[in-house]
């Protein structure tokens, strides 16, 4: 249980630093996107079960089971599109486009929490769209990757808004377990039907074993549940705003590892800087207009 907003923010920044390596690991792992996500989710579920046993926490389902499982499908689609975008383009581009999730969150929250859309959110959203179009026009060979990564950002915003509601009335570990279980079962059925289930972990190359364990246990089991838990103290918008430091970490690490392969045009970096600038300006403009907890009516009450 988090005791203060400061602790929640410190934990969130640590989580974002960890998430900054998910794109790097996704590019290093030799599997295709679907198999990569399946293996990652399976490892993460094992980690969550082990954590629940160690902490003596119950994973028994409750009345939100249907919502948990359906949210897991959104998370699954987010991961598939994110790693698909990395395979189509670069880790830097995928991470940069993912930063638009804050704009999507700002536009989704009024619908979910029954408030008006603020004029400056629309203006900043249009600027972000313009910046994306700038990147899209300059990085011609990566256009599909940009489009898929932007879709991934929309999906990320969607499930984070839902989790911002769920965590107010349930345990983060249980939420994470059933969301990942829903994702694993759905993807497992699909891959089994195609005859494309990945090999067991021990049959993979040594490098993939190491990278998948890091991705599944550290970047998913721990970071995923902790990312839900901080929403007890922080709003979905605050979480998504902080998460936008993730592409900064990813781009810096990617440039250090792959160098020229990850370099973009000067105009593209300008577009990325414009997106990040809008996101932090949005946060500054909304200071004092948001509370640490969402107090609006529960939009999932009738689900």
- Give tens-digit pLDDT for 240-282: 667 767 777 777 777 777 776 667 677 777 877 887 787 677 6
Confidence band of 236 (pLDDT split at 50, 70, 90) = low
> Which residue matches tokens 């794109």?
23
pLDDT band at 237 (very low <50, low <70, confident <90, very high): low
Who wins on pLDDT, 271 or 173? 173
Instruction: Say what the pLDDT of residue 230 is.
Output: 82
In whole angstroms, what is the distance from residue 74 CA to residue 69 CA?
Answer: 9
Rounded CA-CA distance 46/37 in Å is 14
Q: Where are the beta strands (DSSP E) in 15-109?
A: none
What would the mean pLDDT of 180-199 be, rounded to a whole number? 94
> Which residue shows structure tokens 């203060």?
4
76-129: pLDDT as tens digits: 999 999 989 988 888 778 877 887 787 787 778 777 666 677 777 677 767 777
Three-state DSSP class for 157? helix
pLDDT (average), residues 56-65: 84
Where residue 185 falls among pLDDT bands split at 50, 70, 90? very high
Count CB atoms within 10 A of the CB of residue 191.
Answer: 16
Share of the chain above pLDDT 70, in %: 83
Instruction: State the Cα–Cα distance between residues 263 and 93, nearest whole angstrom.
Output: 10
- 297 confidence band (pLDDT: 50, 70, 90): very low
Give the Cα separation of 40 and 114 in Å (integer).
36
Q: Is the pLDDT of residue 300 over 70?
A: no
Mean pLDDT confidence for 42-71: 89
């Amino acid at each position: 249980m988090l005791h203060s907003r400061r602790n929640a923010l410190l934990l969130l920044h640590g989580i974002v630093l960890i998430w900054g390596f998910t794109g790097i690991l996704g590019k290093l792992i030799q599997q295709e996107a679907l198999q990569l996500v399946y293996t990652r989710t399976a490892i993460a579920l094992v980690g969550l079960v082990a954590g629940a046993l160690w902490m003596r926490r119950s994973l028994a389902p409750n009345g939100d089971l249907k919502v948990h499982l359906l949210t897991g499908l959104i998370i699954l689609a987010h991961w598939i599109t994110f790693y698909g975008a990395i395979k189509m383009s670069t880790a830097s581009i995928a991470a940069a486009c993912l930063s638009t999730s804050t704009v999507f969150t700002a536009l989704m929250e009024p619908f979910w929490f029954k408030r008006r859309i603020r004029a400056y959110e629309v203006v900043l959203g249009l600027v972000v769209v313009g910046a994306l179009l700038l990147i899209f026009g300059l990085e011609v060979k990566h256009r599909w990757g940009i489009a898929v990564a932007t879709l991934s950002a929309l999906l990320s915003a969607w499930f984070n808004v839902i989790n911002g509601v769920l965590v107010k009335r349930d345990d983060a570990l249980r939420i994470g377990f059933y969301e990942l279980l829903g994702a694993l079962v759905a993807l497992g059925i699909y891959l089994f039907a195609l005859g494309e289930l990945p090999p067991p972990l021990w049959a993979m190359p040594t490098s993939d074993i190491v990278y998948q364990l890091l991705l599944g246990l550290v970047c998913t089991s721990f970071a995923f549940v902790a990312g839900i838990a901080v929403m007890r103290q922080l709003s979905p918008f605050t979480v998504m705003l902080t998460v936008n430091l993730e592409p900064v970490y990813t781009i810096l690490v990617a440039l250090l590892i792959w160098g020229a392969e990850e370099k973009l045009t000067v105009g593209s970096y300008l577009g990325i800087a414009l997106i990040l600038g809008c996101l932090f300006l949005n946060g500054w403009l909304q200071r004092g207009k948001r509370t640490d907890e969402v107090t609006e009516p529960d939009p999932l009450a009738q689900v």
